[in-house]
Chains A and B, each alone.
Chain A
Amino acid sequence: MSAPATGGTPAVTSPPASLPVTPPASPSVLPPVARGPLARALRRAASWVRALDARLVAPGPAWRARWVHAGVAAVVGLRLLTRDWTQLADRPPALRSHLNLVGWVPDLPVAVLVALQAVGVVAAVLAIGRVRPRLAFAVAWAVYVVLAGLWGSSGKFMHNDVLTVTVATVLLCSSPPARDVRADDRSVRWGWPPRAALAVVGVVYLLTGVQKLRHSGPGWALGDNMAWVLRQGTSPLGEGFTLAVANLPALPQLLATGALCLELLAPLLLLVAWTRIPFAVAVAVMHTSIWACLGLDYSAWVLTAAAVAVPAGLPWRPPWSRRRTSTRRQVRAATA
C-alpha cells in the first residue's frame, strides 16, 4: 500500500528542549519594511505567487493524474489515427520548409509514414490502458511530434496541433500512476501534472488573446474585423451561412468580444475548480463556431482543453472510477 499523503507542507515541530532557542531579533535590527502603495502591491503579488506555487506542488489524487494523462494520450492517438499522413509523401522536397524543430527529419516514404502512424496509435492505446504508460506515452508523443511537424512544414505555420504537443510535453516529464496505485492515493507526484497542464492551457489561451490586443487593439473585437473575417472565410455549411452571420448587426462584434474575453480570462477560469468545466464547454463552442464559419479544424484544441480541464474540474471522483477501485479492492482482498 502506498504511503498516505506525505507531500503536503512539512509539519512544524518545536525544537527539542536540549537545544538553545535563539531569541527573536529586536525590532531595531530587523530590515525596515518598505511602505507605500508600490511596496504593498509587490508584497501582495509575492504572496499570490507563493500561493500559486503552493497550489502547484500540493498533493493531488492519482485518479485525476491518470485521467489527464489518458485523456491527452487519447487526443494524440485520435490525431494520429484520423489523418492521412501519406499525403506527406506527395509533397516535393523543394516545397518543404525546414525552419522548425523537426527540420532535421528526412522526407519519409509512404511505408514509413504508415508504420509510424501504427506505432503511434498502438503506443497511445497502451498509454491509455496503463501498460508501461510512461514509455508508451513517450513513443506516442515522439511519433506525433514528428508527423505533425512534417505536416506543418509547407510554408504556413500550422497551429492545429501545437496545444496538444505542448501539453503532452509537460506530461511527458511526469510519472503517471501505475496500474497498482490506488485511485484515491494522494501525492505531490499525482498533484502537479494536471496543474501544470492547466497552467499551459491557460497561458496559451491568454497569449492568443494578448496578441490580438497587442497587434490590433480593442478594435479587433469592437470594429468590423470579425465581419470581414467571416466574409473572407470558407464555411463547410455553405457561403450563405457565413454571409448571414457577417451581415447581422452586432453579431460579429459579439462573437469577437466573447472569444477575446474567453482567451484573456482563461488563466482565471482554469484557476478556479468550478469554472474549469464551463471553460472547456466555452472553448468547444468557440472552436465549433470557428469551424462552422471558416472551416478551420481546431478539434485538437477542444479535446486537449477538455482532457485537462474536465478531470481537474470534477469535484469528486466519477462513480465508474470508484466502482472499478472497489472491484480491485475486492480482488485484492480475495487473493490476499
Chain B
Amino acid sequence: MAAAGQESPGGAPLRERCRARRVTYSAVAVLLLAALVQLDVWPITAYRLFSNVRTADGVSLTLWAEGLDGERTDLRPPAGEVLGTTTHLYRQLEHAEPAHARELVSAWLELAGVRRADVAQVVLERTTWRMDAETREKHETGRAVVAVVQP
C-alpha cells in the first residue's frame, strides 16, 4: 500500500512503458543479432544446440604423453563439466605458440598425475572412425599426428 503523497505502484505508466520496450526489444535484438552473426561469448550465444547432422562417421582427438621409456599415457582429464570439457582446448595445440602449448600440456600432465620430467614428448592425434549401428563399436578409419609438444 502506498502512503499518501507517494507515487502509487500503478503510477508513471508512461515511464514503465518506455522501460518495458527498452528492456524487451533490446533483449530480443541481442538474441537475434547473436544468432545472425554466430556469436558465442557466454552468456550471449547463437543457440547452436545439436544443429549439425550426425552420421556414423566421427573424429576424436587424443592427447598422449610419450614417456622416456616409450610408454604412452592418455592424458584425458577426469570426467566432469569443469575439467572434462578442457579437452575442447586440445585443438589450440595445433596453432599455439610453443610457450603457450607447453603451458597447456603441463596443465594436462598435472591433471593426469604425470611428472613432466618423465615425458619425452606430448602428441596430439586426430582419429577418424565409423560407428557400427548395432554394437556402437567404433572402427578406426584413419589416424594422424596433429601436434607434438616438448614439455
Contacts and interface: CB of A to CB of B under 8 A. Distances in A.
Interface stretch (A34-42, A117-125, A227-235, A271-279): A227-235
Interface string B26-70: 011001100100001111111111111111101000000000000
A313 interface: no
Contacts of B92: 155
Nearest to B9: A2
A2 B41 contact: no
B147 interface: no
A190 to B, nearest CB: 7
Contacts of A185: 9-10
B9 A204 contact: no
Contacts of B40: 157
A3 B3 CA distance: 11
Nearest to B30: A166
> Of residues A94, A174, A190, A229, which shows the largest number of chain B Cβ atoms within 10 Å of its Cβ?
A94
B117 interface: no
B23 interface: yes
B104 A95 contact: yes
A243 B23 contact: no
Nearest to B38: A211
Nearest to A172: B23
Nearest to B106: A94
B145 interface: no
A196 B17 CA distance: 12
Given A90-B82, A189-B10, A199-B28, A2 B2 contact: yes
Interface string A51-86: 001001101001000000000000000000000000
A181 interface: yes
Interface string A167-193: 001100110011011100111111110
A241 B32 CA distance: 37
B110 interface: yes
A212 interface: yes
Given A6-B11, A7-B13, A207-B31, A57 B48 contact: no
Contact of A162 (B42, B84, B85, B86): B42
Nearest to B105: A94
Contacts of A154: 81-86, 88-89
Contacts of A5: 10
A185 B1 CA distance: 10
B89 A3 contact: no
B41 A228 contact: no
B133 interface: yes
Given A187-B16, A228-B131, A231-B131, A220 B42 contact: no
Contacts of A159: 45, 47, 49
Contact of B13 (A100, A188, A215): A188
Size category, B interface = 35 or more
B142 interface: no
Contacts of B71: none
Contacts, number: 219
Nearest to B47: A207
Contacts of A151: 81-82
Nearest to A95: B86
A159 B36 CA distance: 17
Contacts of B81: 151-152, 154, 158
B55 A243 contact: no
A211 B103 contact: no
Interface of A: 1-8, 53, 56-57, 59, 62, 87-88, 90-95, 97, 99-102, 145, 148-149, 151-159, 161-162, 165-166, 169-170, 173-174, 177-178, 180-182, 185-192, 195-196, 199-200, 203-204, 207-208, 210-212, 214-216, 219-220, 223-225, 227-229, 231-232, 239, 243, 246-247, 332
13 contacts: A56-B21, A59-B10, A87-B80, A92-B111, A94-B103, A148-B43, A154-B81, A170-B27, A191-B20, A192-B24, A196-B20, A207-B31, A211-B48
Given A57-B16, A220-B51, 20 more contacts: A1-B2, A3-B8, A4-B10, A5-B10, A6-B10, A6-B13, A53-B21, A94-B106, A95-B107, A100-B41, A151-B81, A153-B42, A157-B42, A158-B42, A169-B27, A178-B9, A186-B10, A200-B28, A210-B35, A243-B136
